[in-house]
Amino acid sequence: MEKVESYYLYGGWQEVWSHSSETLDCSMKFAIYLPEQAKEKKLPVLYYLSGLTCTEQNVMTKSGIQRYASEQGVIIVMPDTSPRGEQVADSPDYDLGQGAGFYVNATQSPWNKHYQMYHYILNELPHLIENNFPVTGKKSIMGHSMGGHGALVLALKNPEKYVSVSAFSPIVSPSSVAWGEKAFGHYLGENKQDWKKYDAVNLILEGNSVEHILVDQGLADNFYQSQLKTELLENACKQMNVNIDVRYHQNYDHSYYFIASFIEDHVRYHSERLNASLSQ
Amino acid sequence: MEKVESYYLYGGWQEVWSHSSETLDCSMKFAIYLPEQAKEKKLPVLYYLSGLTCTEQNVMTKSGIQRYASEQGVIIVMPDTSPRGEQVADSPDYDLGQGAGFYVNATQSPWNKHYQMYHYILNELPHLIENNFPVTGKKSIMGHSMGGHGALVLALKNPEKYVSVSAFSPIVSPSSVAWGEKAFGHYLGENKQDWKKYDAVNLILEGNSVEHILVDQGLADNFYQSQLKTELLENACKQMNVNIDVRYHQNYDHSYYFIASFIEDHVRYHSERLNASLSQ
């Protein structure tokens, strides 16, 4: 593991690390923000999963999340969105291949050799973080767009591993929209039964649950009607008695300007739950 | 004038406009943040001048300034750093030509045809803003690095036009450092007497003054010792009884992470003075 970038902000350190991933069979980067409190004690971790085309850089440069992590005493881990490298299968499309891992374990060639992002985020990366940084072991997860999908699926399938979950503009049912149909078709094959375990709406309808979900969605988001379909998640939660707060916001779009405007609420949301769980 | 980008954040609008600049004889862009309060009343303006290699995009995506502009009810105007376009003289170097206008009026060929950033920032751009946006006419100015130099020089030469001035990591005496010697040599010629009117330290030693200056400087800034030389400004202010607060910060570098960490203080600093001057 090698530190490749380091910046001081809000009294803490924003670092980028490179490491060799066994799960993904390639070199990967992740960003981590260590607030000042991490010098003196172990802190809980909030994982932030990014959306299509992103690397670890987008959220660390554009969201302002570090200010709130610093105020709340939470470490933020910001992974990349897919395996990377010349030897890793790719496509010329922004929504398939590198930058578009969709947080699944691919089963189809050529994708299955490297595209194991579900395992990477669930197991390998937390293991690495817990062995190398001052963390308590308590963790929560959030994400944006494709990363919102990833966060919801990871939490719904592993409620014992994540204290809390939230999302900005998530793809709530990839099986039902063009982005997901394309990616899942390539990564998981044509049998749509195999897609269901990576579809948050389906997971909820099948009885998976978490204590609470927080979602923010902009009403001027170009992808809201076609790719995100937030109401599918709301309806599934209602039907299955899963607690959810979906906040719709006039004028806000799909960009990091939307995220920056409300990310304080998400960091506080997770911090309250991570700290409550610490004191139990 | 044409609006080319528009985003909603913190309850206001972040816009980018394109216009044909008479002063610079080319098409220019600027960014403007209009907080919610601008829907109902005229607001004062804070100009933010960016550093080498930047466009209007850097500060609008990385600084988080909009949150504080929204809290304080101040409009932020973020100009580009030089004339732009294929017909505009340029160099392959990052510190000369496009992206490196240094906020001077060039007198030397080929630069003098377009590089008139001092006049553009002082006259043309405020005129455009005042004719097209809900502004009071009161304005302040700040900047980063080359833009800190620009802000200091503009305020020191025109104290009646700017209510207040501040800077992050400013080039305080371009005449005395490599960046400035190179740029001023090309733009203004070899006679160093002609450089003095664009050198903040020299302007202060010649008797120019403002009510107060706020400067933040990171001590892990790679350019601090060689190009910025903050102490030259402190010493000149002391000698000439100009009020200045220079705040040095351990660990912080020259990046937008430093700016993001302290920009709230700068927006408040200007807002207090802009609002005090409004109520007089």
CB contact under 8 A, B7 and A257: yes
Task: Name the residue with tokens 């009117």.
Answer: B197
Q: How many CA atoms lie within 13 A of B124 on its CB side?
A: 19
pLDDT surpasses 80 at B158 = yes
User: End-to-end alpha-carbon separation of chain A, Å?
Assistant: 34
CB contact under 8 A, A261 and B10: yes
pLDDT surpasses 50 at A67 = yes
Confidence of residue B277 (pLDDT cuts 50, 70, 90): low
Shortest distance, CA A129 to any CA of chain B (angstroms): 23
- For A33, the closest chain B residue by CA position comes to B257
What B103-107 contacts at long range (C-beta under 8 Å, 24+ apart), as own/partner pairs, is: B103/B49, B103/B146, B103/B147, B103/B149, B103/B150, B103/B153, B103/B154, B103/B198, B104/B183, B104/B184, B104/B187, B104/B188, B104/B198, B106/B186, B106/B187, B106/B188, B107/B187, B107/B188, B107/B189, B107/B194
Name the residue facing A260 among B11, B64, B255 (closest C-beta): B64
Task: Name the residue with tokens 């063009």.
Answer: A178
CA angle at residue B168 from B163 to B169, to 5 degrees? 135
CB contact under 8 A, B252 and A9: yes
Confidence of residue B279 (pLDDT cuts 50, 70, 90): low
Q: Is A249 a catalytic residue?
A: no
CB neighbours of A42 closer than 8 A, spacing ≥ 6?
A: A134, A135, A136
CB contact under 8 A, A261 and B62: no
By 3-state DSSP, what share of chain A in percent is helix, strand and coil, each rounded to 5?
A: 40, 25, 35
**Reduced to 3 states, what is the DSSP secondary structure of residue B246?**
strand
The whole-chain average pLDDT of chain B stands at: 97
Mean local confidence (pLDDT), B157-175: 98
- For B67, the closest chain A residue by CA position comes to A261
The neighbour count for residue A189, using CB atoms within 10 Å, is 17
The neighbour count for residue B19, using CB atoms within 10 Å, is 16
pLDDT surpasses 70 at A279 = no
CB contact under 8 A, B9 and A258: yes
- CA–CA distance from A265 to each of A110, B96, B149 (Å)? 40, 43, 37
pLDDT surpasses 90 at A278 = no
pLDDT of residue A280: 47
Confidence of residue B276 (pLDDT cuts 50, 70, 90): confident
pLDDT per position as a tens digit, B211-233: 999 999 999 999 999 999 999 99
CB contact under 8 A, B61 and A64: no
- CA–CA distance from A27 to each of A20, A57, A87, B112, B150 (Å)? 4, 16, 11, 49, 43
Q: Is A149 a catalytic residue?
A: no
Model ipTM value = 0.93
pLDDT of residue B278: 56
Mean local confidence (pLDDT), B40-57: 98
CB contact under 8 A, B220 and A8: yes
Shortest distance, CA B33 to any CA of chain A (angstroms): 12
- For B259, the closest chain A residue by CA position comes to A9
B40 membership: H or E segment, kind and range:
none
Residues in chain A: 280
Mean local confidence (pLDDT), B81-88: 98
pLDDT surpasses 80 at A277 = no
Domains of chain B: 2-278 (3.40.50.1820)
CB contact under 8 A, A64 and B10: no
Shortest distance, CA B254 to any CA of chain A (angstroms): 10
- For B252, the closest chain A residue by CA position comes to A8
Confidence of residue A276 (pLDDT cuts 50, 70, 90): confident
Q: Kindly write down the DSSP assignment for every residue of B161-230, as one continuous string.
A: T-S-EEEES--S-GGGSHHHHHHHHHHH-S-GGGGGGG-HHHHHHTT---S-EEEEEETT-TTIIIII-H
Shortest distance, CA A214 to any CA of chain B (angstroms): 19
CA-wise closest residue to A149 among A263, A255, A52, A33: A52
pLDDT of residue B280: 47
pLDDT per position as a tens digit, A192-251: 999 999 999 999 999 999 999 999 999 999 999 999 999 999 999 999 999 999 999 999
What residues of chain A lie within 8 A of the CB of B16, using their CB?
Answer: none
Name the residue facing B9 among A10, A14, A257 (closest C-beta): A257
pLDDT per position as a tens digit, A108-140: 999 999 999 999 999 999 999 999 999 999 999
What residues of chain B lie within 8 A of the CB of A66, using their CB?
Answer: 257, 260
Choosing from B50, B70, B140, B145, the catalytic residue is B145
What residues of chain B lie within 8 A of the CB of A11, using their CB?
Answer: 261
Name the residue facing B7 among A8, A14, A253 (closest C-beta): A253
Shortest distance, CA A200 to any CA of chain B (angstroms): 28
Q: Is A221 a catalytic residue?
A: yes
CA-wise closest residue to A176 among A195, A191, A190, A194: A195
Residues in chain B: 280
CB contact under 8 A, A9 and B220: no
pLDDT per position as a tens digit, A10-40: 999 999 999 999 999 999 999 999 999 999 9
